[in-house]
Structure 1
Amino acid sequence: MTATATQMAYRRFGRTEIQMPVFSTGGMRYQHGWKDVPLAEIPDDVQENLNNTVRRGWELGINHIETARGYGPSERQLGVILPEFDRDKLILQTKIGPTDDADEFLSHFDESLERLGVDYVDLFSLHGINDSRDLLKALKPGGCLQAARKLQSEGKVRHVGFSTHGYRDVILRAIDTDLYGGFDYVNVHWYYIFQRNWPVIEAARAKDMGVFIISPTDKGGQLYAPPDKLRELCEPLDPMVFNDLFCLARTQVHTLSLGAARPSDYDAHMEAVGLLDRADELVTPIVRRLENAMHEAIGATSPEAWSEMVPDDRLGPSGLNLQTILWLRNLAVGWDLVNYGKMRFNLFGGGGSWFAGLRPAEALPTARDEELVAASSGPIAGRVPDLAREALEMLGGEAVKRLSES
């Protein structure tokens, strides 16, 4: 790494003892699409952009590179550039989804090592422990966690963790397990607009696990293209910088994934590194303005204020994920996150365990109002049918697929 690496800040990544940069280079936006193809089919300019993006991160002191088997040809493309870097200083992470058959899981891992062109990875995640079925695949005797620990004993993996987009209770069960040594770290969603998983981070801290925040810029509100209202509320900071500081002001958080698509994508985030010692001072008045704007819109300071009053899809009538539906509605009416809301809302029905819940346009007509009211609690219970329909009218559109499914 060059002298500019001193600009970066580092944190102990839980019991792994890794000194982790507070930003990580996530590998799901610079690769050549979402279909795994041979290197020979990847255009030269696409590969060069990936090379330059990873190099720029390294120059800034971001020596943690994170990818996954499911990110199209990302592993293959990284295998081209990784030999440039000092392997002893590189922190390399890949992720593989749990399977029913541990031998299949191990075969996938061997393929990932071959694609990356390395003998081991520093961090290895079971990718997508989202629901009870995924957790069973991981924890059952002879399952994927036991297989991952076997890889660790063979020196092919340094530390074992898991990533999740799933239900909070499932995540907490995964963190709580001590089977096969449990997990060393967790990749989880948590950022300003989505704070429901804070108990997960506290539980991880209690177990001395590393905490890696997934997609705080894109899933955190498409902050690379924020609406004018959000931009005004976050002044004098860019919304991305505000969100970075909000997250990193908590010492329980160790690193934020930056899904950089090009070398310049690091620039705004590096501003946050220089402001870390003033995080509380800068963030507090912005939070107050955001809360006031949300209160004016919905009568509560948080878009998640109603989350504990309505069920997710497991108990929601007709498979409706009312928690997420109302959260997206509140983001749209409170902070004008309409485009973000549409992007997420139209994943319903196509996101599987990664974005659970049936498509509201199809499920709402089959849910009777009395069912929606009975499934809810608190002062909003009687309003839930109208709120859900308002969300559908505001955000509904053509169904979309997750990027990895498209």
Structure 2
Amino acid sequence: MKASLEQSSLPCRRFGRTGLSMPVLSLGGMRFQQSWTDLEAEVITSESQQLLKDILERAVACGFHHVETARHYGSSERQLGWALRDVLDPQRLLQSKVPPREDPKVFEAELALSFERLGCERLDLVAIHGLNLSEHLEQTLRPGGCMDVLRRWQGDGRIGHVGFSTHGPTDLIVQAIETDAFDYVNLHWYFIYQDNDPALDAAARHDLGVFIISPTDKGGHLHSPSSQLLELCAPLHPIVFNDLFCLQDPRVHTISVGAARPSDLDRHLEAVDLLQSAAELLPPVQQRLVDAAQLALGEAWWTSWQRGLPPWQESPGEINLPILLWLHNLVEAWGMEGYAKARYGLLGSGSHWFPGANAEALDADVSETALREVLVNSPWCDQIPGLLRRLRNRLGGHPQQRLTSV
């Protein structure tokens, strides 16, 4: 067994009511696995496993003491379990995530499989994975539900703290936080998507640890930024800018770094080195981004585009107008076409992880008249149908499938 490496350290923050000392960067386990299928052991290649070990060794050496994965991240748990035995870290905080289930016995079986795959006797952090719908919260908290399973495992000393991860609507996230049943939350919040501000406020009021999900990928495909975004964020790389934006907020405790190779850690470490200067570095970049958006979109649109939009459930064909118009803004303001194509293609196939439909049904199953009827309270009712058609022409024809099956 390999001895632990000589370690450097990252700044740490108190992870809410857990009291854990949490590094500001966490190693996310969504990108380093060989497959999104939970492979049998003999199918995993030595090359794939060595790559994961290389990532983990670099992460440990840089102070990434928090490692998180999930039951449905394909072969991630199995491969990580093997690597953890070879790459030691006495300060390691280990987290996995298990989706809520209608039948708590099914949930407990998946929880047990996570422990088996990871080869561990205890997890410091366990999250309900994908608390995206009100029924997920009910399945978790009802008497005899998933939380009762977790509390029993806590009582046995096998689980430290319980949280939840979510792609759900902000009001549901706030509702879950206000139950006081959870110790921490994994959620989306970045420069390009700040809708979950009320959830961050609620987490601060209730002293929950806050973990930001996938700031590089879900935060805008910042690993492959547009030339426009690169220019607007200079002298910072967009990854560095977004990391600083997240970490300068005292409501945020850690952000996920999903690494597919050791070098994927570099930009994030650069951001940490600049964290003390965030107050000087961020404002000029933010102002350039806002100025570019207002120039491209018009100040009137920029300040009022969300007004009067129905939720996707109330839109004909379940067209997700808030998301589609947000994607329009990203493309027009900052040239984020690659990211917008991926998000557009996922609408309609993302289930509760990314709900609602894209604009493909407009003029087919959904008439402009029907669309206008739900836009009666929008100041942009006359412009939105044409805008959706242009967006469809620009982004359509690239259907996406969410990688996890739950």
Report the counterpart of residue 326 of structure 1 in structure 2. 325
> Which letter maps to 1:45?
E
Report the counterpart of residue 172 of structure 1 in structure 2. 174
Superposed CA deviations along residues 69-103 of structure 1, whole A, max 9, x for unmatched, are 00001000011111245565110000011000011
- Separation of aligned partners in 2, 1:370 and 1:330: 24
Q: What is the CA distance between 1:297 and its match in structure 2?
A: 1.4
Report the counterpart of residue 384 of structure 1 in structure 2. 384
SS of the residue 1:400 aligns to: coil
The 1:308–1:114 alpha-carbon spacing in structure 2 relative to 1, beyond 3 Å, is farther
Q: Is the 8 A contact 1:304 1:327 kept in 2?
A: no
User: Given the two structures, how large is their TM-score scaled by the length of structure 2?
Assistant: 0.95
Q: Is the 8 A contact 1:161 1:186 kept in 2?
A: yes
- Separation of aligned partners in 2, 1:302 and 1:354: 28
- Separation of aligned partners in 2, 1:122 and 1:88: 13
- Separation of aligned partners in 2, 1:386 and 1:191: 29
- Separation of aligned partners in 2, 1:33 and 1:307: 39
Q: % of aligned pairs identical?
A: 44
- Separation of aligned partners in 2, 1:149 and 1:248: 31
Report the counterpart of residue 15 of structure 1 in structure 2. 17
- Separation of aligned partners in 1, 2:112 and 2:177: 26
Report the counterpart of residue 63 of structure 1 in structure 2. 65
- Separation of aligned partners in 2, 1:337 and 1:302: 18
SS of the residue 2:35 aligns to: coil
List gaps (5 residues or longer) in structure 2: none
Check if 1:5 corresponds to 2:11: no
Q: Is the 8 A contact 1:349 1:359 kept in 2?
A: yes
- Deviation larger for 131-140 or 219-228: 131-140
RMSD: 1.8
SS of the residue 1:211 aligns to: strand
Q: Is the 8 A contact 2:54 2:262 kept in 1?
A: yes
Superposed CA deviations along residues 292-339 of structure 1, whole A, max 9, x for unmatched, are 000011124997953353123212222111110110111011100001
- Separation of aligned partners in 1, 2:108 and 2:253: 29
User: Matches of residues 224-239 of structure 1 in structure 2 within 5 Å?
Assistant: 224-239=223-238
- Separation of aligned partners in 1, 2:337 and 2:207: 38
Report the counterpart of residue 335 of structure 2 in structure 1. 336
Q: Is the 8 A contact 1:312 1:324 kept in 2?
A: no
> Which letter maps to 2:205?
A
- Separation of aligned partners in 2, 1:341 and 1:67: 26
Report the counterpart of residue 134 of structure 2 in structure 1. 132
User: Matches of residues 265-344 of structure 1 in structure 2 within 5 Å?
Assistant: 265-300=264-299, 306-344=305-343
Report the counterpart of residue 206 of structure 1 in structure 2. 205
Superposed CA deviations along residues 250-291 of structure 1, whole A, max 9, x for unmatched, are 011001100100111001110111111110210100000000
Report the counterpart of residue 46 of structure 1 in structure 2. 48
SS of the residue 2:82 aligns to: helix
Q: Is the 8 A contact 2:122 2:159 kept in 1?
A: yes
- Separation of aligned partners in 1, 2:337 and 2:370: 28
> Which letter maps to 1:185?
Y
- Separation of aligned partners in 1, 2:70 and 2:190: 22
Q: How many residues align?
A: 402
- Separation of aligned partners in 1, 2:362 and 2:349: 13
Report the counterpart of residue 365 of structure 1 in structure 2. 364
Check if 1:399 corresponds to 2:399: yes
Q: Is the 8 A contact 1:139 1:145 kept in 2?
A: yes
The 1:305–1:93 alpha-carbon spacing in structure 2 relative to 1, beyond 3 Å, is farther
Superposed CA deviations along residues 132-165 of structure 1, whole A, max 9, x for unmatched, are 2222211222111222122211111100000011
The 1:149–1:349 alpha-carbon spacing in structure 2 relative to 1, beyond 3 Å, is same
- Separation of aligned partners in 1, 2:218 and 2:156: 36
- Separation of aligned partners in 2, 1:79 and 1:375: 50
- Deviation larger for 375-384 or 348-357: 375-384
Report the counterpart of residue 188 of structure 1 in structure 2. 187
- Separation of aligned partners in 2, 1:27 and 1:184: 21
Report the counterpart of residue 81 of structure 1 in structure 2. 83
> Which letter maps to 1:392?
R
Q: Is the 8 A contact 2:26 2:66 kept in 1?
A: yes
- Separation of aligned partners in 1, 2:125 and 2:404: 21
List gaps (5 residues or longer) in structure 1: none
- Separation of aligned partners in 2, 1:69 and 1:364: 41
- Deviation larger for 164-173 or 200-209: 164-173
- Deviation larger for 302-311 or 79-88: 302-311
- Deviation larger for 395-404 or 220-229: 395-404
Q: Is the 8 A contact 1:372 1:384 kept in 2?
A: no
